[in-house]
Structure 1
């Protein structure tokens, strides 16, 4: 009987202790004020002579910003190093060193005259997670990694290198800093000659998650706190040449013209109509168009234009393209022109977020009373490259008026905290697993 009482007491004590730990974990929150203060402080790095933000990768502002960020990482107790690709990696040990790391982070470079939240928010959110765990004396089972990728804005350079997908011939390309990727990588502490050594293997990460501003205004317009990302869209590109007959604009009757620009204009409208005829969140754009003749007294004999379509389904993209081709054939007959499509070998395939991570993010949001919806990302992110190393997930927060890549870019402190809290609790839920 005494043994039974002691056993029951032990079970109740264990359950109570677990409940207390569970409660304390549920109760923790990020420091909203600290995140906002750091975003504002970081905005001071990279202001050019014209007073514009210019923390482009490899610029002096980028170098100074990276040094500042690494100093904060070290103060937070992270073991910090720069890999051969120039990525900043901060490690925090877990209880079980045999477990794979849970990683999170983003980038701190920007486009010329860009905003203060794109990438930077995801980076400071990653650091905030570490700070909060430190303050609550929480040691996770898994090791944790904060990863700050180099040069996201000019082609996901750092994350592609980590995924083993950055080709060596890309190192000769220049970005807006004026430096090639090879030169810039050296400037920030990497070693382009040893770039393959930055690649990590499939399965190296238990998970990689990232928070980002939405870069459109769906969340804002619907009054929803966060989006749980289902995947990052695939992108397919075509160059289009419309061939007509250049002729004198003054003496050629209207009904006797082979005007390539008229045909191109009809095709632009056809693209819009076809893409809108499909159900879903797919997009299609003609973002570039040029008339080589370029004179007011010449009927355009040739037009060069682009076509880009994005969706989580490659089959849907190619189905839309087939419909656009059919419309192009009709336009050719109507305008007595020729329309030639060239499919470019620049496509990116759709990347799907891990279902279990999505569920953990939803569980986190619901436990915190934060409203959410599911969404696909129409823009590329470092996270899509990390899918080569382990399961991925993303959280979006509202971006005022949908503005991004612009100094007017803004998310409020409370909006940032909502997303950061979902990220924090997702890490804790993943760690429990």
Structure 2
């Protein structure tokens, strides 16, 4: 019998002490239901996901694309990807969803709401993987979304909003499916080669899409009430700090520069050290300067020189030319630019002292930072807190489909720990309890969004 029913009975003969106990208990429950930010949360709410079912489905999905040696290769547009998608569509149908494949190859499982005029709440992720990747990056968010639907079905709950479980195509190859949905997939992009060989257009056809009608997959701002993505945290921060849930404040922007350092190639045995124009020596000083600049200011920004090509690359020739790749990531675009200007200033000084020339060529593949919705951050926080889970507000240093979706809908991301911070690897692992924690936060977040008024 609930507390509300108890209060409907006469209290005249009850002792004041007993009455006070009930009043206190009711107050605690009420605070729990509202959560830390006034959102409807989960104390007293019996809805919980089925941990064993999530683990079983992750194991089943992992079989698709696996070779005889146990290595995973469910790369977009391969047979493993196609077979895995067919399996997922079958799971959607069993859960009562009405799945369709849009022109970009995205799988969209639809569930009706009480009010069909309301925009759908969408959640999900992707199931394609990098070559020899792990079983959790993408599949957790996808199967966590399916688990939410199963729980709602089991408890016969019909939400006010329609719901959509979206499994984006080719996330690992450049967020192709979500890029198309956001209206950013260009004709040139469709002709680019995919990781598995075919062009993006050919791959989209292979998985049931229609690249000739790619515009039909585009959603406008307002078409979705929200997009929520559950994902493993790929940097190991949660695991190191023993935090259960990451509340993502945004996805970093990424800018690349190809840097050319030109000196003069000359005989390594006969050219004195004090007259050399050693391009590699100058490049080495620049690499150190990048690290010094990036670490000289507070924040979570990162800078990397991850590519280096030396010409002529011989034991007995002083390097005359070096091409290196510079990448800077941060949640603020202006901070990226400030850091780059300081690196450029340091490069000018290095070039002067080494008698070399250093040029920076900004690449066209830059991605802008994408902030998650503040109100949805609070909703995720409230859900996690009410479940008794520890949280950390954090940025995502990796790209996700949510980065594209932020252009057309309010976005939230939920992170759970990955053991050792390992990702894109067969050793990728998230513990069953953490899988369930994330899915429970996703479930309660979706329910809270459904009850809350649109911002």
The answer to whether TM tops 0.5 is yes
> Deviation digits for residues 168-227 of structure 1, max 9, x if unmatched?
111222223222111111111111111111111111000000011111111001000010
**Distance across 1 between alignment mates of 2:195 and 2:203:** 11
Show the counterpart of 1:171.
190
Partner of 1:87: 106
Per the alignment, residue 212 of structure 2 pairs with 193
Q: CA–CA distance in 2 between the matches of 1:177 and 1:415?
A: 32
Unmatched segments (≥5 aa) in structure 2: 1-6, 9-25, 34-39
Query: Equivalent residues in 2 for 1:120-199 (5 A)?
Result: 120-199=139-218
Q: 2:381 aligns with which of 359, 362, 369?
A: 362
The answer for the alignment partner of 1:12 in structure 2 is none
Call closer, same or farther: CA 1:25–1:390 in 2, change over 3 Å: farther
TM alignment of 1:46-61, pairs within 5 A? 46-61=65-80
94, 104, 109: which one aligns with 2:123: 104
Residues 25 and 131 of structure 1, relative CA distance in 2, 3 Å threshold? farther
Encode CA deviations 1:326-369: one digit per residue, 9 max, x unaligned.
Answer: 11122112211111111222211111100000000000011000
Q: Tell me how far 1:22 sits from its aligned partner.
A: 8.2
Say whether 1:68 aligns with 2:102.
Answer: no
RMSD across aligned positions (CA): 1.9
- SS of 2:326's partner is strand
Aligned 8 A contact 2:41 2:386 in 1:
no
Contact 2:42 / 2:383 at 8 angstroms: preserved in 1?
Answer: no
2:51 paired residue among 16, 27, 32 = 32
Pair 1:23–1:204, CA change in 2 (3 A): closer
User: What is aligned with 2:351?
Assistant: 332
Is 2:42–2:444's contact at 8 Å kept on the other side of the alignment? Answer: no
Cα offset, 1:27, TM superposition: 2.3
Could you list the per-position Cα deviations for residues 33-66 of structure 1 after superposition, in whole angstroms to 9, with x for gaps in the alignment? 1111111111111013554211001100101100
Evaluate the alpha carbon distance shift between residue 22 and residue 203 of structure 1 in structure 2; reply closer, same or farther with a 3 A threshold: closer
What is the CA distance between 1:25 and its match in structure 2?
Answer: 6.8
Report the Cα offset of residue 23 of structure 1: 7.0
State the SS of the aligned residue for 2:89. Answer: helix
Shift of 1:98: 1.1
Structure 1 residues 292-321: Cα deviation after superposition (integer angstroms, max 9, x where no partner): 201111000100011110111111111111
Distance 2:340 2:197 in 1: 37
- Counterpart secondary structure, 2:45: helix
Partner of 2:418: 399
Q: Does 1:212 align with 2:231?
A: yes
Match of 2:271 in 1: 252
Seen in structure 2, the aligned counterparts of structure 1 residues 150 and 23 have a Cα distance that, compared at 3 Å, is closer
Tell me what 1:341 maps to: 360
In 1, distance between residues paired with 2:68 and 2:57?
A: 23
Q: Counterpart of 2:307? A: 288
Alignment gaps of 5+ in structure 1: 1-7, 10-15
Q: Which runs of structure 1 show a deviation greater than 4 angstroms over 4 or more consecutive aligned residues?
A: 18-25
Q: TM-score, normalised by structure 2?
A: 0.90
User: For structure 1, which segment, 20-29 or 137-146, has the greater mean C-alpha deviation from structure 2 after superposition?
Assistant: 20-29
What is the CA–CA distance in structure 2 between the aligned matches of 1:399 and 1:207, rounded to whole Å? 26
Q: 1:200 to 1:113 in 2, by over 3 A?
A: same
Which residue in 2 is equivalent to 1:313? 332
Does the 8 Å CA contact 2:41/2:382 hold for their aligned counterparts?
no
Give yes or no for the alignment of 1:202 onto 2:215.
no
1:232 lines up with 2:251 in the alignment: yes
CA 1:315/1:390 → structure 2, altered by over 3 Å: closer, same or farther?
Answer: same
2:311 is paired with a residue whose SS is coil
Is 1:414 the counterpart of 2:433? The answer is yes
Deviations 1:213-272 (A, max 9, x none): 111111001000010000011111111000111000011111221100000000001000
- Measure, in 2, the Cα distance between the counterparts of 1:74 and 1:251: 75
Cα distance in 2 for partners of 1:312, 1:142 equals 31
- Normalised TM-score (structure 1): 0.94
Counterpart CA distance in 2 for 1:287 and 1:170 is 24
Q: How many matched pairs?
A: 420
**Mapping of residues 417-432 of structure 1, within 5 Å:** 417-432=436-451
Distance 1:399 1:48 in 2: 24
Give the structure 2 partner of residue 379 of structure 1: 398
Contact 2:225–2:409 (CA<8 Å) still a contact in 1? yes
Question: Which one is further off, 23-32 or 73-82?
Answer: 23-32
> Aligned in 2, Cα 1:22/1:282: closer, same or farther, shift over 3 Å?
closer
- CA offsets, 1:377-403, max 9 Å, x none? 111100111112210010111111111
Tell me which moved more, 150-159 or 40-49: 40-49
